[in-house]
Amino acid sequence: GDIPSVPYCDRCASSGTEPRSPSSSQQCPSTRTATYAEALKCLQTLEFDAFSLTYDQMCHLSLEIFKQVGVLDSLGVSSEQIRTLISFVRTHMPPNAFHNFAHSFDVLQSCFALVHMTRALENFDTLETFSLLVAALCHDLGHPGVTNEFLVSTSSALSHVFNDRSVLENMHCVRTFELLSHPDIGITQCLDAQDYLRMRKLIIECILATDLDLQDRYLATLDAAVEPTGGSTKDTHKEID
């Protein structure tokens, strides 16, 4: 039979599962304490303070990150498409105390800073870099502000769809690809079938890896990969799974 539509969490149910276009009434305020120029200077560092910015500044700097890695032209993705994606993510992040748009931007910037400081991008191809940034931006998309444990213990509709496994992370993946394929964004249409499937695999792996229940497994694999006698290949370091 047909695969059912993935529901939103009961706690933040929407009138439908279609992505909503951004509107000013849905955008959360933020207190401005830093100038855009000040933020831009330290965008590639871990000294960056994401929470000193307004949401508008976060949107501009999110686009700047995608521009600075220099992958858009080679993928045929326009700055306007990324700008629209960022705006949609902003709209679809509920005003939770923690899992909000500021958190999405903070993770994107931290990820960007880490790969810049470690020169990891030298070992990533264009699609890997783009997928990593999209996953960082969208990894908590539509977060209801509750845990997987809560969703499972309350027998939520969302937990039933994903069989109690990485419930939120699976939902975030679904929401991410709803946006990427949205007609106002159309990023998936820029890629051929092979690149789309590879991007999809990379984004899903990155987002699912944010399930805290899996952190011990990933840390153990990382520890093994950096052991001097581990004999790990470059690809193993890029894709720890």
Q: What is the pLDDT of residues 13-66, one digit of tens each?
A: 433 334 455 544 333 334 345 688 888 999 999 999 999 999 999 999 999 999
CATH number of residue 86's parent domain: 1.10.1300.10
Is 140 annotated to bind a ligand? Reply is yes
12 in any annotated domain:
no
Dmax over CA atoms of the chain, in Å, equals: 56
Q: How many CB atoms lie within 10 A of CB 163?
A: 10
Given this model, what pLDDT does residue 226 score?
81
73 in any annotated domain:
yes
Is 237 annotated to bind a ligand? Reply is no
Q: How many CB atoms lie within 10 A of CB 20?
A: 13
163 in any annotated domain:
yes
48 in any annotated domain:
yes
Q: What is the pLDDT of residues 65-74, one digit of tens each?
A: 999 999 999 9
Given this model, what pLDDT does residue 238 score?
59
Given this model, what pLDDT does residue 128 score?
98
Please give the Cα distance from 164 to 151 (Å, whole number). 8
20 in any annotated domain:
no
Given this model, what pLDDT does residue 235 score?
58
Per the structure, the complete domain to which residue 124 belongs is given by 34-224+233-238
Q: What is the pLDDT of residues 162-211, one digit of tens each?
A: 999 999 999 999 999 999 999 999 999 999 999 999 999 999 999 999 99
Please give the Cα distance from 184 to 102 (Å, whole number). 23
Q: Which tokens in the block code for residue 199?
A: 């991007």
Please give the Cα distance from 196 to 167 (Å, whole number). 24
205 in any annotated domain:
yes
Mean pLDDT over the full length of the chain: 86
| Confidence band, pLDDT 50/70/90 cuts, at residue 231 | low
Q: Catalytic site residues?
A: 99
DSSP string covering 141-170, please? TT--SS-HHHHHHTT-HHHHHTTTSSHHHH
**Cβ(200)–Cβ(174) under 8 Å?**
no
Q: What is the pLDDT of residues 180-194, one digit of tens each?
A: 999 999 999 999 999
If one counts the domains in the chain, the total is: 1
Of the spans 87-96, 219-228, 231-240, which averages the highest pLDDT?
Answer: 87-96
Q: Which tokens in the block code for residue 50?
A: 């994401």
Q: Which tokens in the block code for residue 97?
A: 């105390």
Q: Which tokens in the block code for residue 176?
A: 């991410």
82 in any annotated domain:
yes
